[in-house]
Structure 1
Amino acid sequence: MSELLGLIVEARPLQAHFRIPHTSLLLDTYPFPPKTTAVGMLAGVMGYPPDSYFRLLREVNYGVIIEDQGERIEEISAIYKNPHSPLYPITKVSLYKPHFRMFFTGPEEFIERAYEALLDPKFVPYLGDSESLFYPASPGYVKLVEVKHGKEKTLRSILPANVEVESVDVFRKRILAPKEYEVPVAFVYRGKHRRAVYRRFLAFSGVVIRLKEPIDVMLFDGEPVFTF
């Protein structure tokens, strides 16, 4: 099997919010950084212009393990228009101290430059909205590793929603039970307008999922991760 260069980034922000679209009065969050968010973080620390970011979404593959989903916290505010308009309470859900391991493959030069930029970023890295500052999980929070193609039935990374699950094994007390989410993975442009492209995934934490049949994965220093 041919070897590639991969990047692993481990983050544990104080809080994170990855807004689920099509909501208004309840601003809910995905339990993990979507590809658009994670690749956008790399583009930001590297100082890439927006048009390059959209190209990167096609060139870079991404996977993520939710090491800890954190605590769900709520912030309630209201929209004030004028003295005669009703107040509309808005609830924003964020994750308090989640823990993610994010995995990237792509052009080798880009992966090397992303590694260097994470150690010395051109712009402040965010992992979600403007209140969600990136925070390293440990001193060795970013590393370059060898990556190989493989097949695997037992995984901890998020998975495509259409997999057939054979068993779910719990390995810690606090878990995020497997649940499907429709998540943005790219954008399509028409003139000045853009439309998100979505894909369905199975997200979970604190459990190991065993599949009925092996799926294609990338082995990051031997660890199987589904990437897309």
Structure 2
Amino acid sequence: MIGIRLFVGGIFSFFRVPYNSLLMDSYLFPPKTTVVGMIGAALGWGEENVLDNIDKFKYGLIIKNPGERVIETATIFGNWEYTPYPITKIMNYKSYPITKIMNYKPFYEVFIAYDNKDLDMDKIYNALNDPKFTLYLGDSESLFYANVKHPKFCEKIEINKGFGNEFECILPSEIYNKKERIEMTTKEFIPPTEIKIPINFTGKGKNRKCVLKNVFYYSGVKVKLKEPVETYHYGKQPVCLF
């Protein structure tokens, strides 16, 4: 079975956590829906094609370098507001602050497989190297860049099903909870943290909702499980795909 490994870096990245508030928070890494959307842009897919194909992809990711968190706050001005005053009216703008949290210079290793014979990995590989639409890291202001250390940022690689008990990739909670211990692999690390990430969508239009999955993410950490679990091997690298 052929899979794809991507070395993904950028100046800024923004993967919005799906809730509405004046705080626009970002995941530390691109969730499955973002990665499939990026592949869809490379292939020239429309929105419906992307939504129809999300479930057919398998996805895994290692946070090689989370980068730094950047906080941007802006004031949003709304309509005029007239305030009564004894003699005249003072005219003001309604305003409120909005805060956006982004990742600065992150670097990810992304693993992709596709469970459908209608679309082979050669076509995806060629599209990523010569995309039909501009590739972004989450939003249109966050451009995708190939890391200079890996000029061939996209590579095809043989993957095989097997068993593994040591992982550096993000893990679904049900697998992470089988851990025996964790080991730090770098001086700077992010400890394992559980969050919900979008992996698919249901409904259409205004009724569309994201399907969430509980996962643990970390960086500079290796997780060792009590017992081996079924997984995929990209070369010698065990990766949990979902």
Q: How does 1:77-116 map to 2 (within 5 A)?
A: 77-84=74-81, 86-106=94-114, 107=116, 109-116=119-126
Q: How does 1:143-154 map to 2 (within 5 A)?
A: 143-154=155-166
Cα distance per residue 1:18-69 (max 9 Å; x no partner) = 0111141111111110000000000001101222111221111010010011
Cα distance per residue 1:63-114 (max 9 Å; x no partner) = 0010011100111012211242542211111000100011011136432111
1:6 aligns with 2:14: no
1:57 aligns with 2:82: no
1:43 aligns with 2:40: yes
2:153 match: 141
- Structure 1 window deviating more from structure 2 (163-172 vs 95-104): it is 163-172
Find the residue that maps to 2:33 and give its secondary structure. Answer: helix
Cα drift, residue 192 of structure 1: 5.7
Partners of 1:192 and 1:81 lie apart in 2 by 24
- Structure 1 window deviating more from structure 2 (71-80 vs 103-112): it is 103-112
Cα drift, residue 123 of structure 1: 0.6
Find the residue that maps to 1:87 and give its secondary structure. Answer: strand
Find the residue that maps to 2:145 and give its secondary structure. Answer: coil
1:161 match: 173
Gaps of 5+ in 1: none
Q: Counterpart amino acid of 2:110?
A: M
Cα drift, residue 191 of structure 1: 6.7
Cα drift, residue 189 of structure 1: 1.4
Cα drift, residue 215 of structure 1: 2.2
2:90 match: none
Gaps of 5+ in 2: 82-92
- In the alignment of these two chains, the number of paired residues is 225
1:15 match: 12
Q: Counterpart amino acid of 2:209?
A: R
Cα distance per residue 1:170-219 (max 9 Å; x no partner) = 11122111101100000111576311100000000011111122222111
Q: Counterpart amino acid of 1:159?
A: L
2:29 match: 32
1:224 match: 238
Find the residue that maps to 1:139 and give its secondary structure. Answer: coil
- Structure 1 window deviating more from structure 2 (95-104 vs 109-118): it is 109-118
TM-score (norm 2): 0.89
Partners of 2:98 and 2:180 lie apart in 1 by 40
- Structure 1 window deviating more from structure 2 (186-195 vs 126-135): it is 186-195
2:134 match: 124
Partners of 1:193 and 1:62 lie apart in 2 by 26
Q: Counterpart amino acid of 1:114?
A: I
- Structure 1 window deviating more from structure 2 (199-208 vs 86-95): it is 86-95
Alpha-carbon RMSD across the aligned residues, in angstroms, is 1.4
- Structure 1 window deviating more from structure 2 (57-66 vs 84-93): it is 84-93
Find the residue that maps to 2:120 and give its secondary structure. Answer: helix
Percentage of identical aligned residues: 36
Find the residue that maps to 1:42 and give its secondary structure. Answer: helix
